[in-house]
């Protein structure tokens, strides 16, 4: 089986999960546009896989007021774009029992990176996808911590939980049309990536070895994406998803979704 979409914009592709899934897409014969802040990492990826398969763009997703123009530039250059994969993220620890240590500017940046930027990208690309004749997709990386928080990084968990709830509602809204936009959510567990590096989180010891090996995560997530799953829990995230999230979503479908459909009449 092959991944359903043929040209994918990947935001947050310069390391970790984004890099690994971008490589899977290239190996699957897809054309990708990789986006990140580090030119040298983008160049490394293009050199490895070829400019005939990969385009790259340097962009800082925290520049919210530039996202609309970015989307216009991308869709003008790539009118056959059929998928946007939003994967950028940052994680920091905050201890509110020691309020003097809490950096509110950093807290705001984390929420802007993990949630607000995603909303700006979503709004920017939906009109383009609504005008496409075939199926398109918006793919989001949230986290198992969106379902079950970790006290060490409460703002990260909150930002992912906010994104998860938005995705549940967005999926139902977009079913009302126009267009055929599939909304896909990936729930990684802790994965061995740069997210836990000491340069980002000095309070975490041996962070690069925390969690599921990246190759193992990638194989599992990719198999589910190719299968067409719109919710992709992996590793330990499966326990929380199957343990209570499925039941919660069943209640959501029975109680909350009908109110949306009633409101459309």
pTM (2 d.p.): 0.92
Q: Does 136 reside within a domain?
A: yes
Percent above pLDDT 90 for the chain: 88
Domain that holds residue 118: 7-262
Q: Does 240 reside within a domain?
A: yes
| pLDDT tens-digit map of 153-202 | 999 999 999 999 999 999 999 999 899 999 999 999 999 866 555 555 56
| pLDDT tens-digit map of 208-250 | 566 899 999 999 999 999 999 999 999 999 999 999 999 999 9
Report residue 253 CA to chain centroid gap. 23
Q: Does 138 reside within a domain?
A: yes
Q: Which pair of tokens denotes residue 223?
A: 């198999």
Q: Does 186 reside within a domain?
A: yes
Q: Does 2 reside within a domain?
A: no
181: β partners: 136
Q: Does 177 reside within a domain?
A: yes
Q: What is the pLDDT of residue 184?
A: 98
Percent above pLDDT 70 for the chain: 91
When pLDDT is cut at 50, 70 and 90, the band that residue 259 belongs to is confident
Average pLDDT score, the chain:
93
- Per-residue pLDDT, averaged over 94-103, amounts to 97
How many domains in the chain?
Answer: 1
- In this predicted structure, the answer to whether residue 252 has a pLDDT above a threshold of 90 is yes
Of 16, 14, 68, give the one whose Cα is nearest residue 32.
14
Provide the 10 A C-beta neighbour count for residue 111: 17
CATH code, domain with 91: 3.40.50.720
Q: Does 1 reside within a domain?
A: no
Q: What is the pLDDT of residue 261?
A: 67
Report residue 246 CA to chain centroid gap. 20
Q: How many Å apart are CA 33 and CA 53, to the nearest integer?
A: 9
φ, ψ for residue 220, nearest 5 deg:
-70, -50
Q: How many Å apart are CA 122 and CA 129, to the nearest integer?
A: 10
Q: How many Å apart are CA 19 and CA 167, to the nearest integer?
A: 23
Q: What is the pLDDT of residue 265?
A: 45
Provide the 10 A C-beta neighbour count for residue 142: 29
Question: Can you tell me whether residue 76 is helix, strand or coil?
Answer: helix
- In this predicted structure, the answer to whether residue 207 has a pLDDT above a threshold of 60 is no
Q: Does 167 reside within a domain?
A: yes
What is the H or E stretch that residue 138 is in?
strand 136-141
When pLDDT is cut at 50, 70 and 90, the band that residue 203 belongs to is low
């Amino acid at each position: 089986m092959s991944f359903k979409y043929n040209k994918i914009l990947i935001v947050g592709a310069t390391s970790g999960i984004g890099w690994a899934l971008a490589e899977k897409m290239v190996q699957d014969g897809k054309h990708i546009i990789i986006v990140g802040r580090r030119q040298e990492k983008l160049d490394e990826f293009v050199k490895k896989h070829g400019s005939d398969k990969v385009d790259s763009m340097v962009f800082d997703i925290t520049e919210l007021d530039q996202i609309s123009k970015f989307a216009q530039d991308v869709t003008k250059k790539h009118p056959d774009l059929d998928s946007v994969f939003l994967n950028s993220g940052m994680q920091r620890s905050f201890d509110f029992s020691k309020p003097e240590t809490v950096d509110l500017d950093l807290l705001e940046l984390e929420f802007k990176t993990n949630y607000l930027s995603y909303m700006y990208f979503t709004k920017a690309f939906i009109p383009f996808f609504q005008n496409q004749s075939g199926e398109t997709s918006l793919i989001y990386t949230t986290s198992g911590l969106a379902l079950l928080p970790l006290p060490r990084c409460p703002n990260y968990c909150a930002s992912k939980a906010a994104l998860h709830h938005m995705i549940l509602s967005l999926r139902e809204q977009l079913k009302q049309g126009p267009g055929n936009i599939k909304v896909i959510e990936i729930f990684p567990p802790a994965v061995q990536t740069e997210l836990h590096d000491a340069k980002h989180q000095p309070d975490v010891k041996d962070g690069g070895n925390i969690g599921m090996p990246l190759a193992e995560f990638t194989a599992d997530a990719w198999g589910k994406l190719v299968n067409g799953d719109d919710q992709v829990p992996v590793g330990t995230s499966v326990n929380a998803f199957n343990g209570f999230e499925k039941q919660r979503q069943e209640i959501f479908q029975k109680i909350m979704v009908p109110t949306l459909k009633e409101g459309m009449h």
